[in-house]
Structure 1
Amino acid sequence: MVSLQKAEAVQRASLLEINSMHIAVDLTGDDRTFTSTSTISFGSRRTGTSTFCDFAGEELLSVELNGTPVPHHAWQDNRIRLARLANSNVLTVTGRMAYSSDGEGLHRHVDPADGRTYLYAMSFLDAAPRWFACFDQPDLKTTVAMTVRAPHGWTVLGNGRFTQTEPGMWELFPTPPLATYFITLVAGPYASVLDEVPKTATSDPVVLGLHAKQSLATELQNEAADLFAVTRAGFGAYHDLFGVPYAFGDYHQVFVPDFNAGAMENPGCVTLRDSYLFRGAATEFERGSRACTVAHELAHQWFGDLVTMRWWDDLWLNESFAEYLAHRVCSNSTRYPLWVDFGINRKDWGMVADQSPSTHPVAGNGAVDAAAALADFDGISYAKGAALLKQLVAHLGDEVFLAGLRDYIGRYQYRNAELAELLRCWTRAGADNLSEWSQAWLTTTGADTLRAVGGRIVRTGDERREHRMAVAALDTSGSELDRLQVRVRGDGVDPGLSAAVVVPDAADQTWASIRFDGELSALASISAVADPLTRVVLWNSLRDSVRNAELDPAVVRHRVVADLPDDPSDQIVRSLLGFAADELVGHFTPMADRPERLQELAAGAEQVMQTATPGTDRQLVGWQQLIRTGSDVERLTAWLSGENLPRQQQLDDELRWAIVTRLAELGHPEQIEVLARQDSSASARNHAAHARAATPDAEAKARALRIVTEPNDLSAYEVYATASGLFASGSPQLLVELAEQWFDRIAGTARFRTGWALGTVIRLSFPVRATSPQVLAHAERQLGAPDLVPLVRRALIDGTDKLRRAVAVTTRFPV
């Protein structure tokens, strides 16, 4: 599929005005294809000229422009050439379309639990033409009507309220103007729970719906109260923040299978991955993470859906704002305080991306086509951008920040806008010198380094950036002695604090790499520091120092084991134990030393579990991490049988699969097929695929490598699970040999995978755990190949950077 060029989009937008679109879909055919007819009314500002519409169907059945058939040969490279446009035009395109299995276009899932079929459409980023013909770019918004023929007994949902006009026939009346990338359709025998947002003085009542496949109906019921509470709180908060009521009628949230992203903000019909309906015990912070996703997608109903970017260069106008606003709204309006989660998880993700060779500006990153934009859909567009908004609030003040947002939403609703227009809104609200701030922060790459040196905060980096932040003084016990708000300009600032440890950015307000000149060794325990955001800053500094080969991983490993059992935040404990298992004793430890180092980590997880109050989240976190890191086969087997479980903890399917996966990693895969026969869910298939790939023998690895690098009929999730297990275990020799085969084959996957699935499989299976100079050399050679497609090249660049860092660390700190 030819990717739309920005220049083409600008030209087409200058020519066309889309008046309306009607989509007719028939879902009653075979299990491989369906028919779709688009009728588009549009004007042309220049008569007699030509353009093209986007159509990525399996077979083009007919095309008519203004009642005249268009020759079949006009369809090439998923584009239909349209000649001799009139001032007013009607285009009708009918095609036979293929259901997808990769989570894009119209995805079809047959639930292995009961054989029922479920459909959902994912049109982002350029997947809309895979299920209907359209002018596919974000700045050609139009009203959308739809008719759907579906099997009797199915539920049909979309961007507005569908009415069943007769059994199996559904009609959607015209919506407000929509961009093609968030048009959706959901159809199948979904289980549903309904509620509403009550009418207020400024907004009408909103019908709320939650939906999932029938095999998750119990989980849907169990989670409905919390999901509705977060959603209602979000509606109230966003109505107040934006001053504009919700614009898209009913609001459905559908938990769909095999979903590539966390969720998608389709107006009125958000789709979310169904793993948010927990099959096992869930902690408070896991529900908090889900609440953040719910609030994130709800923010998009204004920021992204009501006001939409013109081109993918301004992707951050969607994602950074939704990321920031979701954490803010959840922290202020729900029971979930999420700024710790933002700092310890999301900012860490963004910092890794910003230090990689593929880093790019938050705004205006030069996406020449849609495919390049998808490659930049990353921790910079989300987490770094949100962190910069947090810093902007410190710079502008909350009143000016919100006034500018209200002006922007009110002024550009139902239209498209870009960064310059948002900056003008903030300027009208009272902001000064915002263009300078924007140039310094939004159009540059990388992070400044703020280093505490003898009480002074020394800055290296871009001197145009001014950091507004808190600085805290700690004594050796971790007690906070003083705190000041400072501005860091030029080469730094002396806040006048004298203490054993001086912490820059103690409230986690800015975007910078934080460093300490040996001062942290004076701190008896990070966990004794009262402010959780200060602890986040300290831990992130240690993680970042390891990744840059500045600090021995052993130092941080000992800190994790010693400090975390006493940390008050379950979120910090979970995140740091995960980092230690995945990275410290993973690719930042020489391959031969990993089993021994993993036992040290297991001892720390054991302490977390044993010292926690029975039945609490803390105890569950410790147990989960002990399952991940333990090597006592007899104990793991006993737990799988329900014996000697931690007090007041219960064994559920997710814990069973965690145990079976760990046993497989230790060379005991016998229980995989036993549990797979007992658990017929789609989740079980994915767990089994991961466990099989993680089994450390040559035959299992060869099978997994074929799944990753060759076409197959497995679901996208089973391929992803296999990819994530491929290098999870194995002897050093086996991993190195496997990595060389992987590099020889992986670029060829672009022949049969596209979009999200292509990049995700490479990212999940990249052999960073085969940490050796030999493998790094192979990776560098692969990057030199001249014909890599953008998504493959981007995934290889990022993976190779992680491998390069791992080799640097294990070379400098070999034991």
Structure 2
Amino acid sequence: MPSLLRTEAVTRAALLTVEHTRVELDLTDPGDTFASTTTLTFASAQTGATTFVDLKATALEEARLNGRPLAVADWQDGRLPLTDLADRNELVVRARMSYSSDGEGLHRHVDPADGRPYLYAMSFLDAGPRWFACFDQPDLKSRYLFAVTAPADWTVLGNGPARVVDEHPGSWRRWEVSPPQPLSTYFVTLVAGPYASVTAEHDNIPLGVHARASLRRELEAEAEDLLGVTGQCFDHYHQVFGRRYPFGEYHQAFVPDFNAGAMENPGCVTFRDQYVFRGRATRIERATRAGIVAHEMAHQWFGDLVTMRWWDDLWLNESFAEYMARRCTSRATDYDQTTEFGLARKDWGMVADQAPSTHPIAGNGAEDAQAALRNFDGISYAKGAAVLEQLAAHLGDEVFFAGLRDYFDSYAFGNAEFAELIGSWSRAGAGDLAAWSEPWLLTAGVDTLRIERPGTADPAVARLVRVPAEQGGERRHAVTVARLDADGTERGRERVEAGPEPVVLTAEPVELLLPDAADETWARIRPAVQDWDGLTRVLARIADPRSRVALYNSLRDQVRSAELAPSAALRVLETQLPDETGDYAMAQLLGFASTELAGPYTAPEHREPVARRVHDLSRLLLGRAEPGSDRQLLAFRAAVAAGVDADELIGWHAGEGLPDGLALDPELRWRLVVRVCALVDRPDLIERAMAEDPSTPGRVHAAAARAGLPSAAAKQRAWELITAPSAIGAYELYATAGAFFQPHQTELTEAYVPRYFAEIGGTAAFRSGWSVAEAASSAYPRYATRRETLALAEAAIAADPAPGVARALIDQTDRLRRAVASTERFPAG
């Protein structure tokens, strides 16, 4: 089906004003389809004009425009033409829609725990027409009423208050959901099924958290933290935005098979249900969840109250929510995400910003909706957030938030563009922001900040040099340079601005000069250090965790740029991590060691000893951790992920030799099963685990375990799931794809490397949107680190595959190219 062109959206927005949308759904049919009737009331600026309505149905049964029947045969490629419009129009569309299994449209999941169906609607980015007829673009907002007939024991939630208006006891109930404000199609939702719920109220706002009935106990255990964070975030946003939450009730539904982390539907945010923890959760995981709660709530103002006019400004929605969430959690909750943003989110964005698919934060010229989705990445989130943080520091809080309040007041319940936000900041006293926005928002790529010692007679003289991104640009970086002794003690800090000209730094001789010591800017960091082994004496003792984040990110980036040998990086981690006080840093770096240093950045013949070293490091940290602590749990997970001794792992699974204070829960048991099955052919372990835990998460873990089995038969079965149509759920598909290629199974999977490049493009014929790109990316043969793989990849890219597959190939091939460069420069690791 064609993706909506920007030119078409502009024309349709100029013509139409959508006044009201009534959606009637009958969800009582046990089959694979449901009845959907949409009544659209809209005005036309031109009598007699022609336009179209979007509908991606299984069957169009009837359509009437102003009482006039429309020809069903005219409905093609997801569009129904509308001709001879009146000044004011009523369109009625009656259709059969299919439930989805890919997390888009109206998704249906049958929980194996109770055999009951659980539904939720995901309308982003252009999936709304998969469950109701609409003019599907962000700037045609409408008021809505949903009339939903559902089984009598179901809960129905949506973008506004839900009430029962009719019922047949023991059979069905009819609900009406009435959102209080106009909505864009992409964040319209519905949640329906026998969900478990916990409700509360904060500051006169009704709150609810919801999950599948089989997660009731876990939901009730997590509700206090979830609702507490929700209230704290509301208080913070009410204070800084100067405007109360505008959408009435606030529900947070944790739903199965959800593709994204969460979706900001006004009044009814949907989350992936892994955030209702089945096993023991660490403070790190609760902090991550708090950040997502804060992120989606920020969207209620920025994105939902005021919505972008076109997908070009999608970056601003996400960058703003990313920035505000980190600020909110650190100031209003017990969870500080500073380290997480630096080590995880910025690292994600830095990798994206150095890939061939890099793009400016803004002004990407998305000519159609799907093109915007392809640029929905770490640049849109992390880089944009880092840049907005610099802008907020540049303007000061008073001007920054005054501009936002002006923006909300000026465009409430409507649409706006970035230029109009700039106008609001200018009215608040920001002045001309063009000089700031051009290099930061409209120029792609990442600069490098490098400390250079010119080799003069004075060892205290050094320079901070900005090496601009290939695309150019005159960015200026206001950063802190720290001076550190050999024992890690800071001798002082200097605030400087790195621009086109080098900055001369004059100070007493020190072991380390570290630019961006407060982790404030968006740049690759190259400190004045030649010997990372020597630097560990400094790194282990640096008090400021932000400075350690800057160094860790520099280390990872130097490995990926073939500047630092992976073996040298591993030595740094082996000497540093035993003294690293931050649990998040420890977990992230052990993950880097396991998935990258012991994976594609080491030649296949050298991987086993590297993996053993990572496992030994994890065991060392495990032995030093306090029994029962988060650190112990994180180190144990890392030891399992890097495990090389199947017998040891099988013993742990049986409860033998477990560290004091560590108890196995379902999630830990599955981690052990998945890792064991990647090492030895033990399908019996999978079947026993499934018998003990036949839940939805259990099925997903079992899919990963089966795909990882080191047998030709298991690989063939998994390959068919990846490359052929099937009824497998989205999460099971992603788990199968992600576990197929293993770093130690290169000989076993050798024949599938060329098959991947020959066959993956064909999956776009039966997958679309999120799922086609996710499966293609997850199944990429990332461990086939050699030039021959690159040649196959480049040929596949040159064959011009479907856009979702193409972006996955381009990004993953860039990562493989970096790994090949590293193994060629450092063949022994």
Decide: shared fold, TM above 0.5: yes
1:12 aligns with 2:12: yes
Matched, 1:639 2:644: no
Give 1:545 shift: 0.9
- The answer to whether 1:502 aligns with 2:513 is yes
Q: Matched residues in 2 for 1:737 and 1:184: separation?
A: 44
Residue type of the alignment partner of 1:728: Q
2:608 is aligned to 595
The alignment status of 1:756 with 2:770, answered yes or no, reads yes
Q: More deviation in 459-468 or 434-443?
A: 459-468
Match of 1:615 in 2: 628
Residues of 2 paired with 1:696 and 1:515: CA distance? 41
Q: Deviations over 1:34-77 (max 9, x none)?
A: 01111111111111110000000000011111111111122110
Q: Report the AA paired with residue 554 of structure 2.
A: S
Give the corresponding residue for 1:467.
Answer: 477
Instruction: Indicate yes or no: 2:793 matched with 1:779.
Output: yes
Distance in 1 (CA, whole Å) between partners of 2:289 and 2:179 is: 31
Q: What corresponds to 1:201 in structure 2?
A: none
Given that 1:527 and 1:568 are in contact with CA atoms closer than 8 Å, whether structure 2 keeps it comes out as no
Q: 2:463 aligns with which of 424, 434, 456?
A: 456
Which of the numbers 791, 796, 811 marks the counterpart of 1:798? 811
CA offsets 1:277-327 (integer angstroms, 9 cap, x no match): 111111101110011001100101001000000111000121000001001
CA deviation after TM superposition for structure 1 residue 668, in Å: 3.8
Letter in 2 for 1:308: T
**Deviation of 1:174 (Å):** 4.8
Aligned-partner Cα distance in 2 for 1:732–1:61 = 52
CA distance in 2 between counterparts of 1:561 and 1:699 reads 38
CA contact (8 A) 2:137 2:184 kept: yes
Question: Alpha-carbon deviations, 1:593-617, whole Å to 9, x = none?
Answer: 1111001111111111111111111
What is the CA deviation profile of residues 775-800 of structure 1, one whole-angstrom value per residue up to 9, with x for unaligned ones?
111111101103x1111111111011
Structure 1 segment 289-368 matched on structure 2, within 5 A: 289-368=288-367
2:306, 2:316 → 1: CA distance?
9
Corresponding residue of 1:667: 680
Structure-2 residue corresponding to 1:68: 68
| Number of the residue aligned with 1:87 | 87
**CA distance, structure 1, for counterparts of residue 579 and residue 634 of structure 2:** 13
The aligned counterpart of 1:114 is: 114
- State the secondary structure of the residue aligned to 1:573: helix
In structure 1, what is the Cα distance between the partners aligned to 2:525 and 2:398? 29
Structure 2 gap ranges (5+): 168-172, 454-461
Contact (CA 8 Å) 1:696, 1:730: kept in 2 or not? no
- The AA in structure 2 aligned to 1:599 is R
In structure 2, the partner of 1:687 is: 701
Partner AA of 1:745 in structure 2: E
Query: What's the CA shift for 1:525?
Result: 4.3
Shift in Å, 1:528: 1.4
Structure 2 Cα separation of the partners of residues 591 and 426 of structure 1: 54
How far 1:712 moved relative to its partner? Answer: 0.6
Name the amino acid aligned to 1:743: F
Deviation at 1:228, TM superposition (A): 0.6
SS at match of 2:307: strand
Distance 1:144 1:5, change over 3 A: same
How big is the shift at 1:497?
A: 3.6
Identity of aligned residues (%): 52
Distance 1:480 1:77 in 2: 64
Structure 1: gaps (5+ residues)? 199-204
2:558 counterpart SS class: helix
Q: TM-score, normalised to structure 1's length?
A: 0.98
Q: Is the 8 A contact 1:697 1:730 kept in 2?
A: no
| CA distance in 1 between partners of 2:72 and 2:675 (Å) | 55
Show the counterpart of 1:370.
Answer: 369
Q: Distance in 2 between matches of 1:516 and 1:507?
A: 13
Are positions 1:183 and 2:182 aligned together?
Answer: no
Question: Could you tell me whether the CA contact under 8 Å between 2:704 and 2:738 is conserved in 1?
Answer: yes
Matched letter for residue 292 of structure 1 = G
By how many angstroms is 1:340 displaced?
0.7
Cα deviations by residue, 1:309-360 (Å, 9 ceiling, x for unpaired): 0111000121000001001100111010101100000000000000000011
1:341-400, Cα deviation, whole Å (9 max, x unpaired): 000000000000000000111111111111111111110111110011111122222222
Q: What residue is the counterpart of 1:697 in the other structure? A: 711
User: Counterparts of 2:73 and 2:119 in 1: how far apart (Å)?
Assistant: 31
Q: Once the two structures are superposed, what CA deviation does each residue of 1:677-718 show, in whole Å capped at 9, x if it has no partner? A: 111100000001001111122221111111111001111111
Residue type of the partner of 2:402? A
Give the Cα–Cα distance (whole angstroms) in 2 for the partners of residues 176 and 299 of structure 1.
17
How big is each residue's C-alpha offset from its partner over 1:460-502, in whole Å with a ceiling of 9 and x where there is no partner? Answer: 1145211112111111121111112221121331243442211
Query: For 1:42, what is the secondary structure of its paired residue?
Result: strand
Q: Is the 8 A contact 1:463 1:490 kept in 2?
A: no
| Residue 519 of structure 1, CA deviation | 4.4
Contact 2:65/2:91, CA 8 A, preserved across alignment: yes
Alpha carbons 1:351, 1:379 under 8 Å: kept: yes
The CA deviation at 1:557 is: 0.9
For 2:38, the equivalent position in structure 1 comes to 38
Q: Tell me if the contact between 1:463 and 1:491 (Cα under 8 Å) persists in the aligned partners.
A: no
1:22–1:38 contact (8 Å) kept in structure 2: yes
One-letter amino acid of the structure 2 residue matched with residue 781 of structure 1: A
Question: Structure 2: how far apart are the matches of 1:43 and 1:35?
Answer: 26
Q: Do 1:156 and 1:186's aligned partners in 2 also have CA atoms closer than 8 Å?
A: yes
337-346 or 174-183: bigger deviation: 174-183
Q: Retained in 2: the 8 A contact 1:24–1:148? A: yes
Match of 1:445 in 2: 444
| Whole-Å separation in 2 of the counterparts to 1:520 and 1:491 | 27
Q: Which residue of 2 aligns with 1:530?
A: 543
In structure 2, C-alpha distance between the alignment counterparts of 1:731 and 1:211, rounded to whole Å: 41
Tell me the TM-score normalized by structure 2: 0.96
Structure 2 residue aligned with 1:605: 618
**Structure-1 separation of matches of 2:359 and 2:184:** 25
- 1-structure distance, mates of 2:208, 2:219: 11
User: Which amino acid in the other structure matches residue 468 of structure 1?
Assistant: A
Matches of 1:795 and 1:122, distance apart in 2: 22
Between the aligned partners of 2:694 and 2:192, the Cα distance in structure 1 is: 23
Letter in 2 for 1:698: A
Change (3 A) 1:227 1:497: farther
- How big is each residue's C-alpha offset from its partner over 1:612-655, in whole Å with a ceiling of 9 and x where there is no partner? 11111111111110011122222211111112211111111111
Instruction: Report how many residues are paired.
Output: 808
Measure how far apart 1:520 and its partner are. Answer: 5.5
CA distance in 1, matches of 2:101, 2:514: 49
Distance, in Å, in 2 between the alignment partners of 1:683 and 1:12 is: 43
Deviates more, 1:789-798 or 1:488-497: 488-497
Q: More displaced, 626-635 or 583-592?
A: 626-635
Letter in 2 for 1:714: I
CA deviations over 1:144-173 (Å, ceiling 9, x no partner) = 111000011100000001110122100123
| TM-superposition CA deviations, 1:741-790 (whole Å, max 9, x none) | 1111100000000000010101111111111111111111101103x111
1:422 corresponding residue in structure 2: 421
Q: What residue number does 1:288 align with?
A: 287
Contact 1:598–1:630 under 8 Å retained in 2: yes
8 Å contact kept, 2:400–2:425: yes
Tell me how large the CA RMSD over aligned residues is: 1.1
Is the CA contact 2:604–2:743 (under 8 Å) kept in the aligned structure 1?
Answer: no
1: CA distance between counterparts of 2:27 and 2:541?
Answer: 60
SS across alignment from 1:367: coil
* Letter matched to residue 47 of structure 1: T
The one-letter code matched in structure 2 to 1:141 is: K
Q: Distance in 2 between matches of 1:458 and 1:790?
A: 38
**Superposition map of 1:98-177 within 5 A:** 98-167=98-167, 168-177=173-182
Question: Following the alignment from structure 1 to structure 2, what is the Cα–Cα distance between the partners of residues 113 and 339?
Answer: 38
